[in-house]
Each structure stands twice: as structure tokens, then as C-alpha cells.
Amino acid sequence: MGDQAVTLTALADTGAGILIEVVARQPFELEVELDSAVFYESVPAGRTRYMLTYLDRSDVRRL
């Protein structure tokens, strides 16, 4: 990703999925690989939280 700073933080395992926070200066494509699934997201610039459920999808909330 060149000199673009990106922070990816696992905040909690809620029992229904893993809550992560992504902070990015510019939009980019995110791929998160877990033991049982792979998640693909288009990440906007700024701070975004994702609930990576244990299903084949993720719920996105923008802060």
C-alpha cells in the first residue's frame, strides 16, 4: 500500500463475530481471512468499524 498508513484493530469477540476497526487515509480494498471465512470490503477513508460475523457476510458501521 505504499506509504499509506492503515490501522486494523480487533476490538472484541462478541460471540456473534469479531468487531474490528479500520483507520485509513485513503479508500482501499480489504481482505480479512479467518479460519472459516474470507471477508472482502471496500474501505472508505476515515474510521470504520466492521462486525465480521461467523456467517458469509459482514455488517458495516461508519463512525
Does 30 or 15 have the greater pLDDT score? 15
| 49 burial level (CB within 10 Å; 0-12, 13-18, 19+) | middle
> With a threshold of 0.95, does the pTM exceed it?
no
pLDDT greater than 60 at residue 61: no
Band the pLDDT of 63: cuts 50, 70, 90.
very low
Cα(26)–Cα(37) distance, integer angstroms: 26
> For residue 9, what pLDDT band results from cuts at 50, 70 and 90?
very high
Q: 19-54, pLDDT tens digit by residue?
A: 999 999 999 887 878 777 787 878 899 999 988 776
For 38, residues 6+ apart whose C-beta sits below 8 A from its C-beta are 31, 32
Beta strand extents in the chain (DSSP E only): 6-13, 17-24, 28-33, 38-43, 46-53, 58-62
